[in-house]
Structures are given as C-alpha cells and as structure tokens.
Amino acid sequence: MEKNRLNTSPIDDKYWEVLEEYSYETSKGLVVVPKGFRTDYASVPKIFRNIINTYGKHGRAAVVHDWLYSSECKIGVTRAEADKVFLEIMVEWNVKKYKRLLMYYLVRIFGESHFRKD
C-alpha cells in the first residue's frame, strides 16, 4: 500500500511532474518514484477516454507503472512484472474490474515499444 500522498502538477496538456518523492509498496518491493519525474498518468487514446480517463482511481497505478517503464528506473523488473504491479495497484484502489482489466490488457498488447525507451 502507498506510503505517502501522490503530489503532481501539470507541466503542459499531456505531462505532469511529481512534486515530491512518491513511495508505494508492491509485491515486487517498495517502488520510489523520484521528485521531478514526468508522467502522463494513463496513456489513453482519445477514442477510449469516454470509457477511461487519463487519471482517476487508477492514477497511482499509472504513475508507478510509468516509472517502472522509464529508462531512468533501475529496479530489476520485467515488462510483464511492471504490468502486473499496475494491475495489483488498481485492484488495491478498487478500480472497476472492467476498467482495470481493459487497461491491463491494453498495456500488455501495446506497451512493449515504451518499456525502458524514454
């Protein structure tokens, strides 16, 4: 479960900056997202935003997932493990089942080109 409050501020119409270090305890251990990290929360194509917004209950999961996908992240997790952490956090925050499964399967299908390639 999370250790501190997620505090972000918009940079532009797509990205947000993490304003203070953010920690979240996961099945893979403690994940620490550093202050200054840039996230787009959930990368949801506009066509799907009537179903899933870019932020919401899944926001913490999206920020941790973005960090685990980042080339700056030195935590030894595979892409599949990062995606499972994403799902795990969404379950903890009671994201509706259809939303979390849809988001999980979308990152499994389309996420490979983004893993550790900032």
pTM of the predicted model over 0.85: yes
For residues 31-58, give the mean pLDDT. Answer: 77
Model confidence pLDDT, tens digit, residues 93-110: 999 998 899 889 989 988
Model confidence pLDDT, tens digit, residues 67-89: 999 999 999 999 999 999 999 99
CA distances (Å), origin 112, targets 5, 49, 67, 95:
29, 21, 14, 23
* pLDDT, the chain, mean: 87
pLDDT of 52 strictly over 70? no
The residue among 56 and 69 whose pLDDT is bigger is 69
